[in-house]
A and B are shown apart, each in its own frame.
Chain A
Amino acid sequence: MVIYGVALLAGCLLAGVFLGELLGQLLGVSANVGGVGIAMLLLIFASDWLKRKGRLKPVTEQGVLFWSSIYIPVVVAMAAGQNVVAALEGGLAAFLAGALAVVVCLPLVPALSRIGGPPAPLPGSGTGEDD
């Protein structure tokens, strides 16, 4: 059933965010440390395990794939909810601090990508989207 996929996803997110909060408390930080990243790893491991056991039916996958393919609209909504006015009102100091941080770090992407040998190419689209 589709809900099994959605519930699996929800369980992974909740567990990941909980572990991220725990990690934050252990480090004495008032922020979640990697909760979403941990949740992603949990989903990868859980779905792989279920697949090998033959328990991950295509209809169950639908429940995860729907949310994966709704991702871009969610990001568009996220963009529409940003405090753009505050960013523009921050003036030149805020603009330069934010923009130079990007400009300085960007050229390091190719350099650091070389660590660990040649990268693997991208696999085909995993979502149900047509593009």
Chain B
Amino acid sequence: MPVLETVAEVLADNGLITAFAFVGLVVWLSYLVANRLTDGRIHGSAIAILVGLVLAWVGGVVTGGTRGLADIEILAGVGILGGAMIRDFAIVATAFGVNFDEIRRAGIGAVLSLLVGVFGSFAVGGAVAYAFGYTDAVSITTIGAGAATYIVGPVTGTAIGASSDVIALSIAAGLVKSMLVMIGTPFVARAIHLDNPRSAMIFGGLMGTTSGVAGGLAATDPRLVPYGAMTATFYTGLGALLGPSVFYFAVRAVFG
């Protein structure tokens, strides 16, 4: 039908604008569900992020692509709106008006959380790899690095010459982590006292996945976002630094 074709053409030609309208609709419906069906117990943004992930799954199944909903032609703008450029721009904006004294006071704890977070994730991921029958140092290191973030995994794997299926596995591990943090954070926030700038910074350092932390904190309390995001953005760099060097040498010393 020519009318539908014209509609699709307009939507595709104005990708970013379509994304604004589409995401606005998703957020509106999510807040409606949050307020009417859960009586506000689950934050609207938590539902919106979950809906986003479900739509990403639908997009991936329908198109067979790797960019979720953004692989559907008329919704390609969602990839721009949610891409690294705009995301980082908005993350930096959240720092406007934050309490710098609190960031300084959290200093040592935040650095420690980064180190513990990278080492901890790496050790856990490596142990899981070993339990699943990967006994060579390159594979154990790469999958361990993937448990840090889905960027540390392939960066490390490429540097030490891992096979493509192991690199794919490391990316999958990082994606699982990111999504789990996005969805799960609001539910564990109270138990881990995630209600002040300090604990948000520690949380960002321990989890490290910028997208996971950004989404998880937004769904918990948007005021926590700048603090968590600040430390989380150092995590991937630290992981990419330690993965192919310290971690690889340590694993190679044990497994040969």
Contact = CB atoms under 8 A, between A and B. Distances in A.
Contact of B91 (A32, A71, A122): A71
Contact of B198 (A16, A104, A116, A131): A116
Given A34-B234, A72-B218, A86-B175, A109 B192 contact: yes
A64 to B, nearest CB: 5
B231 A82 contact: no
Nearest to A67: B93
Interface string B215-256: 100100111111001110110111011000000000000000
Interface string B88-110: 11111111111111110111110
B73 to A, nearest CB: 14
Secondary structure type dominating chain A contacts: helix
A69 B30 CA distance: 17
A105 B192 contact: no
B112 to A, nearest CB: 6
Interface residues of B, number: 125
B113 interface: yes
Interface residues of A, number: 88
Interface in B187-235: 188, 192-199, 202-203, 205-207, 210-211, 214-215, 218, 221-226, 229-231, 233-234
B112 A34 contact: no
B62 to A, nearest CB: 10
Given A37-B230, A71-B225, 6 more contacts: A20-B237, A24-B237, A84-B57, A97-B146, A97-B176, A98-B125
A87 interface: yes
B56 A116 contact: no
Contacts of B116: 105, 108, 112
B59 to A, nearest CB: 7
Given A82-B211, A88-B57, A98-B147, A43 B196 contact: no
